[in-house]
């Protein structure tokens, strides 16, 4: 088994910005030279998340609306009382979606479904420069 670690720099707009990372994760896998194993995608930070979805406007809007209902931006959050940064909602959304995702691969290809893409969701209340770690374990 071998490990290969790659860092992706991603500029985001915040407020549930959804960015397709699939091609960049596949590129990291290709660069690793590995044929089979698992790829972990991890976002550094507690106001963003990583998941899979069909990356099309309707599904993205549905996900954004669902998260807005679960953790609305204008609700009262104790986090905001302490830090006064107004992003309590983004921490909750991150905790719900999670900050990492593991995808198996074979024949040097991610084993995703036909309509399944790996996406970064930035929940913060401002644009950010995000660091995404792709760590590949395989042979």
The CATH number of the domain where 85 resides is what? 2.60.120.460
Q: Is the pTM of this model over 0.85?
A: yes
Inter-residue long-range contacts of 32-36, CB under 8 Å, 24+ positions, other chains counted: 32/2, 32/4, 32/6, 32/136, 32/138, 33/4, 34/2, 34/4, 34/105, 34/108, 34/136, 34/138, 34/139, 35/106, 35/107, 35/108, 35/138, 35/139, 36/105, 36/106, 36/107, 36/138, 36/139
pLDDT tens digit sequence for 83-111: 899 999 999 999 999 999 999 999 999 99
Q: Structurally, how many domains does the chain consist of?
A: 1
pLDDT tens digit sequence for 41-66: 999 999 999 999 999 999 999 999 99
Specify the pLDDT at position 55.
98
Domain housing 47: 2-138
Specify the pLDDT at position 6.
98
Specify the pLDDT at position 123.
98
Specify the pLDDT at position 109.
98
């Amino acid at each position: 088994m071998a490990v290969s670690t790659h860092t992706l720099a991603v500029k985001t707009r915040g407020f549930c910005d959804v960015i397709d990372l699939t091609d960049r994760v596949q590129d990291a896998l290709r660069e690793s030279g590995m044929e089979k194993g698992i790829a972990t995608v991890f976002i550094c930070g507690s106001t963003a998340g990583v998941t899979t979805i069909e990356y099309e406007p309707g599904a993205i809007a549905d996900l954004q609306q669902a998260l807005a209902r679960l953790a609305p931006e204008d609700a009262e959050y104790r986090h905001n009382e302490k830090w006064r940064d107004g992003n309590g909602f983004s921490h909750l959304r991150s905790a719900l979606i999670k900050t990492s995702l593991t995808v198996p691969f074979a024949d040097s290809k991610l084993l995703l479904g036909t309509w399944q893409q790996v996406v970064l969701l930035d929940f913060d209340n401002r644009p950010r420069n995000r660091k995404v770690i792709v760590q590949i374990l395989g042979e």
